[in-house]
């Protein structure tokens, strides 16, 4: 009987933007009655994994506590300011500086290796940012699928010159926020972004970190094949990307890359939403503001957004998901406009975006939020936060589904109101968003991803 087991092990960081698509896929397999499902992540993700069971169980495998270097939500305010500054290269440099910490992944690698030895997975499904996940899979010769919650070019384009990449050489570097059609200054900036990243690794400080990484790889016995960012692509059995080709700039798509659209569970995801859906149904036009789990607003920014809600109050309600700890920055209840509803959490952002009363999504344009908004045909106004957000923002603008704030660091009310009213008032934004909604939904989402996964040779029965 042992030879008939085909365990599937999901591996992810616990950040919601990275883990959520894999949770949807794992639950879809459970719903289909697939046995021997396991999900390895940090202890903070235990409750979400244990809630997945639809038919067959999804066993939680703990990778221990969260390591600060691997979790942006734990970074101190100074680090947050560095990684979200408006200089895209300086922000990119700060992210590398704070997240490239070889020692931080040692315990995670060992814990995952022990889990693999116990579970003996026939296949691993690894979130694309989870380095120790694909390192274990490659080292132990376990077939793995890479899950990508970003635009496909994000993982197929190199950050440094002369390195292998799957896109064209002139392609915009990830995190640069540059368009495909560049003027001469942008082309220079694109090349400088790559050479600047290379130069970062040549500093004396970073050389020491690279040397430490090399020694750790040797001590852990990590296969040389796992080195380099393209190893996760080259060695994967399959790459699942939760997007569609039309939402990225054109490039030759590798055969192993499958674009399956947005990963959305069956809706409503949270039928008991404490009256939120009833409130939405009472209004003809609602702007939904949600900036992800990482965004930290200042008192000035909060005041600016309150003023934005006041100014667009004629015919539009505003639903604002603002974390409880940031609500102390709000003015007094008496000073809030009547058209503004503030919640610390929504039971399901997907249920909100799916509601017909929601006409626009004001977002930071992270990989999941960008695709989720368009999945339900909602045009966007974008306040890009960091890393991939600028890349999604520029593509949204170029493809006619969004406008980006001119001054995202301040939430200038004049700028925000201008962008909101233009998107709300121009039907072309809605029509383009609905066009991409059709493409994303036709791609198949969780159902297509599960079909592809189950068709792999690693899961074939003897």
pLDDT at 80: 94
Residue 249, token pair as written in the block:
């700039």
Per-residue pLDDT reduced to its tens digit, 178-231: 999 999 999 999 999 999 999 999 999 999 999 999 999 999 999 999 998 899
Residue 304: CB atoms within 10 Å: 18
What is the sign of the dihedral through the CA atoms of 267, 269, 272 and 278?
A: negative
2-75+99-171+220-261+443-459 and 276-442 share one fold: yes
Name the CATH superfamily for 2-75+99-171+220-261+443-459.
Glycogen Phosphorylase B; (3.40.50.2000)
Q: What number is the average pLDDT over the span 242-269? A: 97
What distance in Å separates the CA atoms of residue 205 and residue 226, rounded to the nearest whole number? Answer: 24
Per-residue pLDDT reduced to its tens digit, 341-392: 999 999 999 999 999 999 999 999 999 999 999 999 999 999 999 989 999 9
pLDDT at 247: 98
Say yes or no to pLDDT of 133 above 50. yes
Residue 399: CB atoms within 10 Å: 17
Residue 118, token pair as written in the block:
């116990």
Number of Cα atoms under 13 Å in the Cβ half of residue 258 = 23
At 148, give phi and psi (nearest 5°).
-120, 110
What distance in Å separates the CA atoms of residue 77 and residue 88, rounded to the nearest whole number? Answer: 18
Cα angle 218-220-226, degrees, rounded to a multiple of 5: 75
Q: What number is the average pLDDT over the span 429-438? A: 98
Say yes or no to pLDDT of 335 above 70. yes
pLDDT at 354: 98
pLDDT level of residue 462 (50, 70, 90 thresholds): low
Q: Where are the domains of the chain?
A: 2-75+99-171+220-261+443-459, 276-442
pLDDT at 21: 97
> By C-alpha distance, which of 128, 181, 121 is closest to 155?
128
Percent of the chain with pLDDT over 90: 93
pLDDT at 1: 41
Contact 121, 142 (CB under 8 A): yes
Largest CA distance in the chain: 69
At 145, give phi and psi (nearest 5°).
-110, 135
Name the CATH superfamily for 276-442.
Glycogen Phosphorylase B; (3.40.50.2000)
What distance in Å separates the CA atoms of residue 43 and residue 436, rounded to the nearest whole number? Answer: 36
Residue 420, token pair as written in the block:
């909101």
Q: What is the residue-averaged pLDDT of the chain?
A: 95
Percent of the chain with pLDDT over 70: 99
């Amino acid at each position: 009987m042992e030879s008939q087991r085909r365990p599937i092990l999901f591996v992810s960081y616990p950040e919601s933007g990275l883990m959520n698509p894999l949770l949807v896929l794992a639950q879809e397999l459970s719903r289909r009655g697939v046995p021997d499902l396991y999900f390895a992540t940090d202890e903070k993700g235990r409750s979400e994994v244990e809630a997945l069971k639809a038919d067959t169980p999804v066993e939680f495998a703990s990778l221990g506590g969260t390591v600060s270097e691997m979790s942006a939500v734990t970074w101190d305010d100074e680090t947050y300011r560095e990684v979200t500054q408006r200089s895209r290269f300086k922000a990119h440099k700060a992210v590398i500086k704070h997240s490239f910490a070889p020692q931080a992944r040692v315990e995670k690698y060992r814990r995952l290796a022990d889990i693999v030895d116990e579970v003996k997975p026939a296949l691993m499904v690894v979130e694309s940012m989870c380095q120790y996940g694909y390192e274990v899979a490659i080292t132990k010769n376990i077939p793995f699928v890479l899950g990508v919650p970003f635009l496909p070019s994000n993982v197929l384009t190199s950050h440094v010159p002369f390195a292998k990449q799957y896109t064209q050489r002139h392609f915009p570097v990830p995190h640069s926020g540059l368009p495909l059609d560049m003027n001469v200054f942008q082309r220079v900036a694109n090349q400088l972004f790559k050479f600047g990243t290379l130069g970062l690794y040549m500093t004396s400080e970073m050389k020491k970190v690279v040397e430490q990484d090399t020694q750790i790889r040797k001590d852990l016995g990590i296969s040389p094949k796992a080195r380099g960012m393209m190893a996760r692509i080259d060695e994967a059995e399959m790459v699942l990307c939760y997007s569609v080709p039309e939402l990225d700039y054109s490039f030759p798509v590798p055969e192993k890359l499958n674009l399956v659209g947005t990963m959305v569970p069956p809706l409503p995801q949270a039928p008991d939403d404490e009256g939120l859906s009833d409130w939405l149904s009472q209004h003809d036009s609602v702007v939904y503001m949600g900036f992800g789990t990482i965004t930290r607003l200042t008192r000035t920014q909060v005041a600016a957004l309150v003023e934005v809600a006041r100014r667009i109050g004629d015919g539009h309600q505003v639903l604002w998901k603002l974390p409880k700890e940031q609500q102390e920055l709000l003015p007094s209840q008496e000073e809030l406009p009547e058209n503004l509803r503030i919640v610390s959490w929504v039971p399901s952002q997907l249920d909100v975006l799916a509601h017909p009363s929601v006409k626009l999504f004001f977002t930071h344009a992270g990989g999941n939020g960008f695709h989720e908004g368009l999945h339900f045909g909602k045009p966007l106004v974008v306040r890009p936060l960091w890393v991939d957000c600028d890349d999604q923002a520029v593509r949204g603008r170029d493809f006619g589904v969004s406008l980006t704030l001119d001054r995202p660091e301040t939430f200038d009310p004049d700028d925000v109101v201008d962008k909101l009213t233009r998107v709300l008032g121009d039907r072309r934004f809605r029509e383009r968003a609905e066009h991409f909604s059709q493409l994303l939904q036709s791609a198949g989402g969780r159902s297509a991803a599960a079909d592809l996964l189950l068709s792999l040779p690693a899961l074939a029965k003897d």
